[in-house]
Structure 1
Amino acid sequence: MADQGPSVASIRDFSTWEPVLRLLLADHPHRHAAPSVRVAGRIGRHGWSLALKRRPPAPGRAAQVEDMQEEFDAVQRVQGALAEAGVDDLSFTAEIRPGGKTVLRLLGPSPAVESGIGTPHPGALILVDGSLPEPWRRLPDPVSGAVPAPSADLELLQRTLRERLPHAVGATQEEIAAAEARLGVTLPDELRALYQVTRARWEDVADDYEAAQRQRAAVGCELFDLDGLYVADASSRHCRWEFAAMEAVVTPPDAMVQGLVGSPGWIAFGDNGGGDRLAVDMTPGPRGHLGQVIMLSHEEDTGAGLVADSLTDLVLGRPGAEPGTPHGRRPPVVARVNVASLKSIRAAAHPGLEVLSIGVWDGAPFSLAPVTGLPRLRTLTAYPGTLADPLEIAELTGLEFLELGPQEWRVLLDAGAVPRSLSAAAIVVHGVQDPLPIVDIANEVLALWHRPQIIRTVLEGDLAPVA
């Protein structure tokens, strides 16, 4: 897309960016020798990435805000303009001539492009609006034969909680019904029984921290109140496309918990105090129990682990256990070929392969022939220079995500061979590269799907030394 001239918005006012550019220029190692200096970076409302050397604090003293005050002030000037313009994030590149004449290019935003991480280059390109990687589309398998665990005991559960929490305020039937209406699900019997003893509202303990701690000890977790209950379906675990596309979910035949990102049958009701969520599982695995308690780790984007066979067991401190790892496991559905893992594409190939990642490699480039025709292959990422013939990608007709280096994308684009099955794509860039050619490639890919382009806005100014 053609460069645009400046507008009246403050984010497109050169003076907004001038303090940041002066800092980058002052810190550039070749500012006195090069015919011109190029700088680049990214600033968002909640963070930034700038090639600035942080000066270490004085010996024996921790870093202080004032050590970076000039950087903070310069960035906050831009962040304020971003907020005013309703823009979350912008990357930029600038060419600064010796006399100070400067051409600044703002790159973005585009609703079809995720922000880059620690780089001015674009993140994932969303080619199909609203698309999600396959694991995020996966629904639980039917569980028609699942039954509650023998340990589930409503009378024992309530009696134990009342003994431990004699002054607790229970939820009314109307409050429980309101929660069910909000969630669109009927609460499992054990969960209803729990809230009938304690509704877990902070005001019920009169801001008494010790009483809240006693409630946590009594239940076995930090219990949400009824307003805090939520369905932990896939939408509750947001993940960037380029990371989510590398995930896969599998449910072994002896699993207690289904391998999923989330489920409409996972009702999150508490926290372990470290950010991991506890949920009642109404869509258990082949060997699981209806209403078992599972934990969703905040450090993982998929899956859940068994905590207890029932809420009764959780309250009584009787943990559940997954079956041991079976012998003769099937080949992995996510395969990594690189200097530290698999050493060939053939070693990764099997009918169940979903994700192939080709990383750093010091040998001859690879042919993709061994994975041509695999029925489930949906993600391919390849480190620049690792493919013998990028045009072989055209034979992978089921790809939904593709990440390649700029040169490989250039080959596909020039040959008209970009797979049209893609829902998202990414350009992997290593080392210091000018963002502008990368944005050009990204816009060519976006254009194939008629998606919004990354707009390049040109601003001109002068960074001559201030008198």
Structure 2
Amino acid sequence: MATQRPPRRSIDDFATWHPVLGLLRAAEAGKAAKAGADPLRVSGRIGRGGWSLALPRPVPPRGRASQTEDIQDEIDAVERVQAALAEAGVDDVSFSAEIDPAGTAVLRLLGPSPAVEPGIGSAPGALILAEDALPEPWRRLPDPSDGAGPASSADPESLERTLRERLPDAISATEEEIAAAEARLGVRLPEELKALYRVTRARREDWGKDYEAAEGVFAAVRCELSSVDELYIAEASTRHCLWEFAAMEAVETPPDAEVQGLVGSPGWIVFAENGGGDQLAVDLTPGPRGHTGQIILLSHEESVGAELLADSLTDWVLERERRGHPHRNRSEEPPLVAHVNHASIKSVREAAHPGLEVLSIGVWDGAPFSLAPVIGLPRLRTLCAYAGTLADPLEIAGLTGLEFLELGPQDWRVLLDAGAVPRSLSAACITAYGDQDPLPVVAIANEILALWDRPRIIQTVLEGDLGPLA
């Protein structure tokens, strides 16, 4: 039986990309004139939720803010591609194109690959070398807190009585609904949280479009309460972070901490929001100085840690102030994440200590650094090095515990040619500088992916004619 060729996707149709390429070509017209007969190279990235294109933004008239109408041509061109991405079930795609002076264009769509995270601009993001690999902070589980107990202020009966006075008409959650939530979460709810939901189950249908009723509930509990059906565990997976950023984090719980310094915990039960995008949770895995059932805030602007709000849910609802404990000054100790550059730590030797987990070597005006001082450190798992800062990139082979490595293309080339890419890596990143052509970066990325037999970044080549430049 003859096989049918699948229909061509609109994302692979040059006409879909024509408006975007036309805008980029017009924006680079001055450079094209200086280049003479040489082709013009443009690149970028378009995703279903945003885009990165080197297009100038017009300055609005004095006294008026920028408006979408000011860049309507750009929006229309991008939305055409975004519609094609949605049709193809693709989240985002980067591209590189060469356009000759006559308007003939060769467009290369780069990816996507299930082994490559979205990057910034047209270059690929982190390469995931081990399937489903997570950075070490995202694998960290809470320390045992067997000695912890509820705060003396925790009073479920008083809490329930207070809330019934504030919410006399609220619809309670049944014991069966509370038990169902516990079964779904796989954890027993603390008595204070049960007391709260025995007063109000906080389902949106209970107040419908009566916004005053909803506001009354939120005011009574001092937060935007989730329903008993919406409770969830803030495990590490709920705080997604790209590898190239997550690998730069380090987690730590000092001996005087009230909250464990974690990305997430099986004991963090999220029950509300604060109206600003942050989550409130009941903490069942407190730090050494904390209490079981304390209330913590998970900031949407941070990926690690939580802030203690109250020693108990009773304290939170009754607006009782708490007395914090002084914390040790972490700045007096060697950093777990060390930044070596002209404005911070001045040498790799100064950064080296047994607890070092992350070494980032940034812009540096002096002689390149040797990695000898950090070879053999037991916890070093991340190395990022700016181009030209390493005296000998092959020293990286001595860092046998690395799980993440970020280098410029030239340093990766040295490792690849020598067969010295560390096999301990779970992820890697190639730093592209400035307006560097993404195609050589993609070629190096595919070499690295091939070492782990991971899916490569596929190039789709489209050709078309943009016509004469207007």
Question: With structure 1 as the length reference, what TM-score do the two structures score?
Answer: 0.96
- Give the match's secondary structure for 2:441: helix
Provide the C-alpha distance between the structure 2 equivalents of 1:448 and 1:69, rounded to a whole number of angstroms: 44
Partner of 1:316: 318
User: Hey, what's the Cα distance between the residues in 2 that align with 1:427 and 1:284?
Assistant: 38
1:74 aligns with: 77
**Which amino acid letter does the alignment assign opposite residue 11 of structure 2?**
I
Are positions 1:24 and 2:27 aligned together? no
- State the partner residue of 1:436: 439
- How far 1:58 sits from its partner (Å)? 2.8
* 1:327, distance to aligned residue in structure 2 (A): 5.3
Distance 1:11 1:280, change over 3 A: same
Whole-Å separation in 2 of the counterparts to 1:389 and 1:401:
18
Q: Which moved more, 1:212-221 or 1:430-439?
A: 212-221
Of 249, 252, 263, the residue aligned with 2:251 is: 249
Q: Equivalents in 2 of 1:403, 1:466: separation in Å?
A: 40
Q: Which residue of 2 aligns with 1:33?
A: 34
- In the alignment, structure 1 residue 86 sits paired with structure 2 residue 89: yes
Contact 2:357 2:382 in 1 (8 A): yes
Which whole-Å CA distance do the structure 1 matches of 2:241 and 2:288 have between them?
27
Tell me the alpha carbon deviations over residues 146-174 of structure 1, each in whole angstroms, 9 at most, x when there is no partner: 11111111111111111222222211111
Amino acid at match of 2:117: E
Cα offset for 1:214?
Answer: 2.5
Give the CA deviation at 1:412: 0.5
Query: Which residue of the partner structure matches residue 398 of structure 1?
Result: 401
Conserved 8 A contact 2:23-2:74: yes
Helix, strand or coil for the counterpart of 1:302? Answer: coil
1:55-70 equivalences under 5 Å are: 55-70=58-73
CA distance in 2, matches of 1:33, 1:347: 47
User: Residue in 2 aligned with 1:162?
Assistant: 164
Contact 2:103–2:469 (CA<8 Å) still a contact in 1? no
1:235 pairs with 2:240: no
Quick one: distance in 1 between partners of 2:17 and 2:138? Answer: 39
Give the superposition deviation at 1:287. Answer: 1.5
Whether contact under 8 Å (1:306, 1:320) holds in the other structure is no
Who is 1:3 aligned against? none
The SS at the match of 2:34 is: coil
Whether contact under 8 Å (2:26, 2:469) holds in the other structure is: no
In the other structure, the counterpart of 2:223 is 221
SS at match of 2:406: strand
Deviates more, 1:32-41 or 1:199-208: 199-208
2:15 corresponds in structure 1 to: 15
Cα distance in structure 2, aligned partners of 1:133 and 1:320: 35
What is the DSSP-based 3-state SS (H/G/I as helix, E as strand, rest coil) of the residue aligned with 2:384? strand
**Distance in 1 (alpha carbons) for counterparts of 2:450 and 2:41:** 28
Question: Does structure 2 retain, via aligned residues, the 8 Å contact 1:307–1:319?
Answer: no
Q: CA deviation at 1:64?
A: 2.7
SS at match of 2:123: coil
Aligned mates of 1:452, 1:284 — CA distance in 2:
41
AA partner of residue 357 (structure 2): E
Within 2, Cα distance between the matches of 1:308 and 1:58? 49
The unaligned stretches of length 5 or more in structure 1 are 1-5
Q: 2:391 matched to which residue of 1?
A: 388
Give the conservation status (yes or no) of the 8 Å contact 1:93–1:106.
yes
**3-state SS, counterpart of residue 31 of structure 2:** coil
Match of 2:460 in 1: 457
What is the CA–CA distance in structure 2 between the aligned matches of 1:319 and 1:355, rounded to whole Å? Answer: 37
Is 1:341 the counterpart of 2:344? The answer is yes
Shift of the alpha carbon at 1:205? 3.2
Asked whether the 8 Å contact 1:306–1:322 carries over to 2, the reply is: no
1:138 alignment counterpart: 140
In the TM superposition, residue 430 of structure 1 has moved relative to its aligned partner by 1.7
Q: Where does residue 192 of structure 1 map in the other structure?
A: 194
Alignment partner of 2:463: what SS?
A: strand
Aligned-residue offset at 1:398: 0.3
Tell me, in whole angstroms, the C-alpha distance in 2 between the residues paired with 1:213 and 1:330. 46
Q: 1:409 aligns with which of 409, 412, 419?
A: 412
Instruction: Report SS of the residue matched to 1:314.
Output: helix
Structure 2 residue identity aligned to 1:135 = P
Q: What residue in structure 1 maps to residue 268 of structure 2? A: 266
Aligned partner (choices 333, 351, 354) of residue 330 of structure 1: 333
- Counterpart secondary structure, 1:342: coil
* Counterparts of 1:153 and 1:67, CA distance in 2: 58
Cα displacement string for residues 359-412 of structure 1 (whole angstroms, at most 9, x for unaligned residues): 111111111111110000000111111111111110000000000011110111
Is residue 447 of structure 2 the alignment partner of residue 447 of structure 1?
Answer: no
Distance in 2 between the 1:293 and 1:323 partners? Answer: 16
- Could you tell me which residue of structure 2 aligns to residue 367 of structure 1? 370
Is the alpha carbon distance of 1:321 and 1:331 closer, same or farther for their aligned partners in structure 2, counting shifts above 3 Å? farther
Aligned length: 461
- Contact conserved, 2:181 with 2:228, CA < 8 A, in 1? yes
CA drift at 1:7: 8.1
Q: Is the 8 A contact 1:394 1:418 kept in 2?
A: yes
Could you say what secondary structure the match of 2:395 adopts? helix
Q: Contact 1:255 / 1:322 at 8 angstroms: preserved in 2?
A: no
1:362 and 1:321, CA in 2 relative to 1: closer, same or farther beyond 3 A?
Answer: farther
- The residue number in structure 1 matching 2:3 is none
Structure 1 residue 101 and structure 2 residue 104: aligned? yes
| Residue 351 (str. 1) matches residue 354 (str. 2) | yes
Post-superposition offset of 1:44: 1.0
- Is the alpha carbon distance of 1:457 and 1:48 closer, same or farther for their aligned partners in structure 2, counting shifts above 3 Å? same
Quote how far apart the aligned CAs of 1:338 are.
0.9
Instruction: Give the 3-state SS of the residue equivalent to 2:87 in structure 1.
Output: helix
Q: CA deviation at 1:63?
A: 2.5
Q: CA deviation at 1:332?
A: 1.4
The superposition leaves residues 47-84 of structure 1 with CA deviations (integer Å, 9 ceiling, x where unpaired) of 11111111222333332322212111111111111111
RMSD in angstroms over aligned alpha carbons? 1.6
Q: Percent sequence identity over matched residues? A: 72
Deviation at 1:466, TM superposition (A): 8.3
Cα pair distance change 1:241/1:321, threshold 3 Å = farther
